[in-house]
Amino acid sequence: MISSLKTVFYNNLDEHMVEVVRGAGITFIIKVLSAGFAFAFNVLLARIVGAEGAGIYFLSLTIVTISATIGRFGLENTFLRFVAAHAAKNEWGSVKGVFQKGMLISVAVSTLISVLLFILAPILAQQLFHKSELEMPLRLMALAVVPLALYWLIAEALKGVKKIRDSQLVQGLIFPVLTCAGLFLLCDDSGVESVASIYTIGAFIVLLCGFFFWRRAVSGFKESVVAYSWKKILNSCTPLLWIQLMYLVMQWSSILLLGIWGTKAEVGVFGVASRTAMLTNFILVSVNSIVAPKFSALYCLGDMDGLAVIARKSTKMMTAFATPILLVFVIFPNFVMSIFGESFSGGGVFLIILSIGQFVNVATGSVGYLLIMTGNERLMRNNTLVVGSLSILLNVIFIPLLGALGATIATSFAMAVLNLGAFFLTWRKLGIWTLPFMGRGR
């Protein structure tokens, strides 16, 4: 019976959607496990170090995340786009050439940033955030900037060669398992410095795993490395760097500015609510891992109709999966937040607002990747620059007036505007309507 239903289901899909569904299924399972371990880590963190300790940790995490993103230099989507395109044509020498040049760029940039962050940690802690206890966790986590940047790029390259399971293990599952296990073993003896050490050690272990998976993925192809053009890589990754930076501004400027103008407890509650709300869109992350290289390959082959079908059907699937999670967060917000401890139970309204913003992200579909994988990264860059600037303005206005609530409103509104803008650009430029209702265009 089950086998018959499965056959009927797949018979109603074209070959591209079959690949998306199968790949997304693998990714979804890994993401569910990853989200579970990440959630457990956040619960352990909150219960062990409290709201104020969590605030210090999330401030350090935010700074290091931004630093690692700069260290990747916008190369993640360049890797994904070029590796997928060359792999589709069996040009393995070019695949290796892109990987080699990109990793060299990232090693140089991320090492410089890591050193600067380590040196400047006391100034940031005491003079910018006025929280002296931030210094040591920030220095410890600054050491993780290089492995964070590199293992993320390796994961994107693995997606390009259709090693989806390995990519998701590197990008999603191994890190939360390691950090959660480390925090559980230390348990009540953990301070914020111990958590920071666990984070950094985990990042280096994941990097080693990433190199192992990549070598295994390309070991069967004996083509020599093609001397890939520096100019071609930099022309692609530079606008993508701005996209990543401004996306981070929207995602993390709230917590940084709240760290300046708010209390450690406010930062902790907002940080937990923000990361919990991201569970609404983990199906989007799962599907993006499959459809992004598929977008690049189909566009390279000139199959715009196939591209449109995958974009539209994948959005419907993601919206269906995300809706129940949104409903739980909207109906039982205080209960969900109380899981992290009594000091977090008042953050229910933050969870509702942030979850709605994340749901808009899901319901508009993989519009950012559609633009980037079809060579329209500059349109996405411009969209992100405008909305990122709006995000900063909203945070500057609302946080001094409303505290953590202001940060929540600014973050959610900016996220929704960014994705609606990308949806409009996708429709106008490519003629693809991704919303799961009111279909028009391709």
Q: Are 284 and 436 in contact (CB under 8 A)?
A: no
Q: Which of 15-19, 234-238, 263-267, 324-328 has the highest mean pLDDT?
A: 324-328
Confidence of residue 2 (pLDDT cuts 50, 70, 90): very low
Percentage of residues in the chain with pLDDT exceeding 90?
14
Q: What is the mean pLDDT of the chain?
A: 80
Q: Please, where are the H alpha helices in 73-188?
A: 75-88, 92-123, 135-142, 145-160, 164-168, 174-186
Q: For residue range 294-328, what is the model confidence (pLDDT) as tens digits?
A: 777 777 777 787 778 888 888 888 888 888 888 99
pLDDT in tens, 361-382: 888 888 887 887 787 877 887 8
Query: Using one digit for the tens of pLDDT, what is the confidence trace for 86-114?
Result: 777 777 777 788 888 888 888 999 999 99
CA of 322: how far to CAs of 9, 20, 245, 318, 327, in Å? 21, 17, 26, 6, 9
* pLDDT at residue number 201: 92
Task: Give the model's confidence band at 5: pLDDT under 50 very low, under 70 low, under 90 confident, else very high.
Answer: very low
Residue 186 CA from chain centroid, whole number: 28
With contact defined as beta carbons under 8 Å apart, do 213 and 159 qualify?
no
Rounded Cα gap, residues 161 and 115, in angstroms: 33
Residues 153, 72: contact at Cβ < 8 Å? yes
In angstroms, the Cα distances linking 33 to 155, 169, 402 are: 17, 10, 35
81 C-beta neighbours (distance < 10 Å), count: 29
Q: Which amino acid is at 56?
A: I
Q: Under a CB-based contact definition with an 8 Å cutoff, are residues 394 and 418 in contact?
A: no
pLDDT at 8: 41
pLDDT value for 103: 87
Q: What is the pLDDT of residues 17-61, one digit of tens each?
A: 555 555 556 666 777 787 778 778 877 887 777 777 877 888 888
Helix axes 282-301, 15-72, angle to 10 degrees: 110
- For residue 84, the one-letter residue type is A
CB 46 within 8 A of CB 192: no
| Mean pLDDT (whole number) for 411-439 | 83
* Domain residue ranges in the chain: 2-430
3-state secondary structure of 227: coil
pLDDT of amino acid 116: 94
Residue 210 pLDDT more than 70? yes
Ranges of H-type helices in 188-281: 192-218, 230-261, 264-277
Question: Residues 398-416: pLDDT tens digits?
Answer: 988 888 898 899 988 988 9
Please determine, for residue 1, whether its predicted confidence score (pLDDT) is greater than 80.
no
CA-wise closest residue to 434 among 318, 301, 281, 293: 318
429 has a pLDDT exceeding 80: yes
Average pLDDT over every residue of 145-163: 88
Structure token pair of residue 71: 């260290």
Least confident of 136-140, 162-166, 294-298: 294-298
